[in-house]
Structure 1
Amino acid sequence: MKIRNKLYFSFFAVVLVPVLIVGIYLTVELKRMALNNAIDQNTANVERVKKRTSDMLKVAYDISYRLYNDHRLSQLATHRYDSIYSVVKSYKSYPDFREYEDLYKEVSGIRLYFDNPTLLNNWEFLQPNADIEGKFWYERAMKTNGLIAWNYIEDDRNGQYNLSLIRRLDFTEDNAKGVLVININSALLNGILNQETFETMIVDEYDNIVAANRPGRVGKTLVDAHFDKNIADRSTGTFNAVVDGRKSRILIEGWNPTDSLNGLRIISVFSVDSIVHEPNRIIRLAVVVISSSILIALLLIYGFSSLLTGRLLRLSKQFSRVASGKLDAALPIDGRDEIGQLSRQFNAMVGRIHELIMEVQDTNAQKSLLEKRQSEIKFRMMASQINPHFLFNTLESIRMKAVLHKEAEIARVVRLLGKLMRQSIEAGHSHVPLASEIDVVKCYLDIQKFRYGERLSYELAIDPRAESIPLPALIIQPLVENAVIHGLENKEEGVTVRVDAEWREDGVHIRVTDDGAGMTAERVDELDAHLRERDEDEEEETGRIGLRNVHMRMKLSYGPEYGLHIESEPERGTRIYFVIPHQPGGGIVHVQRTDRG
């Protein structure tokens, strides 16, 4: 990289990157602070609305409490009248409903539903008809023991909807019962919400919007207002959602007024874009200022780098002359800075060049000697392997301990492991009888069955005529190992591995099959291509003897026409097939195998 480019890179690394990191951090932090402040303000607004609304609803609760214990109201409602005159006279003697409405602006209407045929229906005392008695709020009030319910219901006198207090009144005379309904002043309730900055709503238990500071919301449900149903069903909490196509934050606060059967919820919504609008404006201004500063800095760096690189280029030309063998090159001293100092040192360097060459030669000789010594050390380290007989004797000691403690299964597996390791290490012979190879396979499968239990089962079907035929050592066991590992990989119910050896005229046909998950045709083609790659590294990274190792040894033993063949179908298992020809010294294997997993 040229000096000029390094200066540019240093500028980006030292100035631009930190500025970007700080800018991104400040941007995120500024937006986060704005959102947190908005959430805090929103929470305070909701608490203020909750308090003011609770004070308003408490007025209706106090009125209902007085009427619940009003003996005069009980006498008026339960008395059996003999004339219209007496009814009118009783109504005039009980002006409490109208007085409460005039005295408390929080209440817009009071009415009592009572089943007394001698009463006259007016705006205050009403006979419940079948339609009223079928309303959900009336039925629930008659079933509850004086508890208050708050619902957004229709006033059957004028057809308007109001948030209403609904309560059953129990009269002592004749154990009579009536339903008291007190309407809350909707205009006053909406006025409380209109003082809030964010969109705020009061919702009843059936998601009816009873009050809101946004026009067109009152009377609708949350579903009508396009609220996510998963959020509309929540009783409390803060949520992120998209409202009216804008990313928004929703705060839900629920509360149960005094002695209430049900509760109300206050929902406040604010747009995230509206909150981060001012931080975004500040960020845009900061980007303009920072970009201008960076541009000016780049121009200054360009001018400085041009002066610096010009002097360096002259120095580079003299170095090139020396590199080409012209040791008589002399560089005039230029300046008193580092470049000038380098020029003076250049002249002294040329005079010592021959000495340096000799030093390099000596260094190379020492390096060669060191590498030779290192190779000898590596060879000695490789030669100092642990005697495998020590491991066999240790396994035999473990097995004897298991036998003494009557752990027959552990003793059997340790014996099989020792036998498997001994046979594997002693497999230095080029060819072994098929019976010996099957013995190794059986030891391996017994050990794996001890490990996996009922998940693994196996079958061995060996033609007795084929047991004496020679074949390369450790040629079947890697295939069985591959079938066990990949067969059990994605199959919880287990897998069955089968090894078949059949005597035929052209040789001994050997198959290794499993009923695992199988492979797709594309995977089989990929595996076949891997077997035929001209790569000397046929060992897998896991340290196990891989399929490519077996394939290459078969071809080297019996010729290029022999090798492994693989067949597989998804969910139908895998088959590896190979043939050992009737030849002295062994046979070749064609394997077809399909992995289920």
Structure 2
Amino acid sequence: MKLSLSLNNVRLRNKLLILYIFSVFLPIVLTNVIFYNVTTDNVRNQRMKDITRAVEQINNEFRAEVEDAVTISAVFYTDYNLNEILETDYQEPAAYVEAYDTYFRRILNSYTPVYASIQSIKIFVENPTMLHSGGVGYLSNEIKQSDWYQLLKERNNSYPIFIRTQQEDLYLKSDGADKRNTFSIIREMNYFESKNKWQKYLKIDLKTSTIDQIFRNQNLQGNIYLIDDKGHVEYTTDPEVDWSGKPVSFDELVFPKDSIQFPSTNSYVSYLENWRIVGTISEEEVLKDVRQSREFVFVLACLNFFIPTLIILWISRSLHERLVRILQHMKKVKNQNFDTIKQGESLDEIGQLTSEFNRMTIQVKSLIDDVYIADIQTKTLELERRKAQLNALQSQINPHFLFNALETIRMRSLIKDEMETAKIIHNMAKIFRTSLTWGKDRVMVSEEIEFILCFLEIQKYRFEDRMNYDIHIDPAAKECMVPKMMFLPFVENASIHGIEPLRHGGSIQVQVEREADTLIFSIRDNGIGMDEQKVKQFYGYLESDEELGERIGVQNVIYRLKLIYGDRFQLLIESEPGQGTFIRVAVPVEI
């Protein structure tokens, strides 16, 4: 089976929507999603590398400071002259002072200015003959109870140890509180084993400010933790952790759920074995640059959407609105409404199509007006006139009226021989002759009044004294021409529907006047009258354009008058139940 995909049955607006979705919307969405994912991964990976590099930089700088202190300790450890000074028994203090000034002071003071990270250098000895000041301290029992001394004894080797301690100047002033706020390199000075009469220990304190400067790296917006080989936090930039007090286990610390840890590589030297530096930073900080790039991608995507969408809407609106306008006017032409499209001139294909449509519409309208409508109107008018004549004839010859009148005449003729019967028969003959003769559609007012008079005479003959009538005609109106049987239905309605239902009868007044170019027929009766709904029904005949069909009476007359005079005739009806009826018909004068 052959499959075919056709858009011929799809509306233009939907075609433009399909074009927009598959040519603009989806490509932009896919492109920006791919671009965002790639950019996000690149920015995140780069940020992770930068943070890892910053942690490694802190680790290397810290290790370099420690190694400087270790290097100084090695110099003191292997200095023969210094060892001799520390092992000598001085008989007089002056001898020690001389040895101190000659060599010891110089070697103690030569390293502190060079290495900015060194806070102080001090040697603790058991030699009682030395003065314990100026970088020399006594190895007292209190010192032997310290953590660093106990750690050295446990290791029992000549390798230095790195440990968190308390600064010497603060230690001397402390009241026993355990506030270890600095780091020290400590080693036993036993290099010359044959000359180790006294125990000697070298303690080099590092500057706290230097350590703070190293750990507070500006490139790392997080916290840094220095963790010893036992897993305790020896230093941190986290203000929530009291690292200088009691030991705090790193594994027991509680971190936010979105924090990311960046551990440094382990140090492979004996004094820093299994020590490590760990940086923690929130994921929000890591992804800050990612979110900035996301905002950039979002703004770029909005621009990619906004500008093409505006252009497409602009172009599609120009196409769609004008095509819809042409279609609407084509539908109007189908309903014989030949309005042209009013718009400015345009040079594109739709503009040319609009111009051709207007030209075609004008030509078609002109052709229909000149030939078709004129011919149709003539034929329609003739047909309607004939139809109105036939309906008028049928409406005026009321079978019941004729039967009742003839029967009355027959019965009275049998009873008595009177001229009145002959007169009635004469009037009936006139009515038959006028009703059946339609050679001309116009009659003089005098002829119309004569026809009405015959009708009223017959009615009076039927009802005797129960009905009276009065006819007044303006002499200036007698020779005016009017449509045949124009006013008789109103007289018939007044007689049959107005006076006949009354028990004691009534009267009818007919008047014809001429006022300038207007001929006025009026009739007034004192019959039963009409309600408001019936009056509205008569007025409704003026607005109705329906064909006559089988309708008779007043409606037929109103239709004929509309057909002949158009909007040039007037109809006035005044009636109330029990108050009678007044009807006034005004038509143009025809001589």
> What TM-score bracket applies, with the shorter chain setting the length?
0.3 to 0.5
Bigger Rg, structure 1 or 2: 2
Higher relative contact order by CA 8 Å / sep ≥ 6: 1 or 2?
Answer: 2
- Provide the TM-score with structure 1 as the length reference: 0.42
- Provide the TM-score with structure 2 as the length reference: 0.43
